Amino acid sequence: MYSFVFLVITKTICPLGLHDNNDLTCLIFCVLVVPELSPEFIRPLKDVSISEGETATFECELNLEARTVKWFHEGQEVGEKPDSRYQVLSEGRIHRLVVKDAILPDAGEVMAKVEDKSTHAELTVAEIPVDFTAELSEVHTEEHKMALFCCEVNKDDVTVEWRKDGEPLTPSNKHVIQTDGRRHSLAIKDVDQADVAEYSIVVGDRLSSATLHLDGECSEEWWKEVVFV
């Protein structure tokens, strides 16, 4: 809706004579000035709650198109974060921030800002309990060969403990313990009869166990296990 204000100007001819008998022309000029609208968030951000590994999407809407929105996480501009899990998307007046494969440090304040206007929301990331996605399996090997126990968990950067018959194992030339992301392994070198046992791995409150079996030739002490009738 527009309103117009006219300034009334009058012209008085006095004294009026015969030479004034003529056409009079009045020119009117009108200039319409439309001030530029300031960007406003007509649909602000909302809080998002997810679990580890899930995707969080923050969305807001402006009253104008073609505006650059800057996103911040805990005060740091998202464009400055060396993390490809954070994606900024725009479609007309709709602006989104997508956080993929969420981890616990992603929790915190998220802000969208355009010029001097901003909208805020909180991201909550719930920790999921650590668990096995692939447990230990029984291992059969021959004497003087290597035995390998492997398992996989559902989270990175977790602390595990390996045990032999319930007793903790520490890395050594005999026992090689390795971690590769979510995959954990225990290698037992130069296997002999003394290595036959139940091996287990503990992560959080979860435990997975399997037994090492020695196949092939009998040991020199085989006769001690024979029962004569």
pLDDT in tens, 67-98: 899 999 999 999 877 888 999 999 999 999 99
Indicate if 136 and 121 belong to the same structural domain: no
* Residue (of 153, 146, 129) closest to 208 by Cα position: 153
* Angstrom distances, CA of residue 27 to CA of 23, 96, 124, 191: 13, 53, 66, 108
Indicate if 102 and 136 belong to the same structural domain: no
> What is the span of the domain harbouring residue 46?
41-126
79: CATH: 2.60.40.10
Q: Own/partner pairs for 215-223, CB < 8 Å, 24+ apart?
A: 215/140, 215/141, 215/142, 216/142, 216/143, 217/142, 217/143, 219/143, 219/192, 219/193, 221/193
Give residue-wise pLDDT tens across range 160-171. 999 999 999 999
**In this structure, is the dihedral angle defined by the CA atoms of residues 56, 61, 65 and 67, taken in order, positive or negative?**
negative
- The predicted pLDDT at position 66 comes to 73
Q: Domain boundary residue among 109, 126, 143?
A: 126
Asked if residue 152 belongs to a domain, the reply is: yes
Helices and strands per DSSP (H, E), number in the chain: 0, 18
Asked if residue 15 belongs to a domain, the reply is: no
Q: Which amino acid, one-letter code, is at 6?
A: F
Asked if residue 144 belongs to a domain, the reply is: yes
Indicate if 140 and 192 belong to the same structural domain: yes
Q: Domain boundary residue among 67, 100, 126?
A: 126
* Residue (of 39, 35, 56) closest to 47 by Cα position: 56
- The predicted pLDDT at position 202 comes to 98
Indicate if 196 and 136 belong to the same structural domain: yes
Indicate if 107 and 136 belong to the same structural domain: no
Report d(CA 165, CA 211) in Å as an integer: 9
Total domains present in the chain: 2
Asked if residue 96 belongs to a domain, the reply is: yes
Indicate if 86 and 142 belong to the same structural domain: no
Q: Domain boundary residue among 92, 126, 160?
A: 126
Indicate if 96 and 156 belong to the same structural domain: no
* Angstrom distances, CA of residue 175 to CA of 134, 144, 148, 217: 21, 14, 10, 23
Indicate if 75 and 110 belong to the same structural domain: yes
User: Whole-structure pTM over 0.85, yes or no?
Assistant: no
Question: Which tokens is 81 given?
Answer: 């974060």
Indicate if 45 and 120 belong to the same structural domain: yes
Asked if residue 210 belongs to a domain, the reply is: yes
Indicate if 120 and 147 belong to the same structural domain: no
Asked if residue 17 belongs to a domain, the reply is: no
Indicate if 115 and 164 belong to the same structural domain: no
Asked if residue 212 belongs to a domain, the reply is: yes
- The predicted pLDDT at position 1 comes to 60
Indicate if 47 and 80 belong to the same structural domain: yes
| Cβ proximity of 111 and 70 under 8 Å | no
Give residue-wise pLDDT tens across range 214-227. 986 554 454 455 44
Asked if residue 66 belongs to a domain, the reply is: yes
Using 50 as the pLDDT threshold, list the residues of the chain that sit under it. 219-220, 222-223, 226-229
**In this structure, is the dihedral angle defined by the CA atoms of residues 10, 15, 18 and 20, taken in order, positive or negative?**
negative
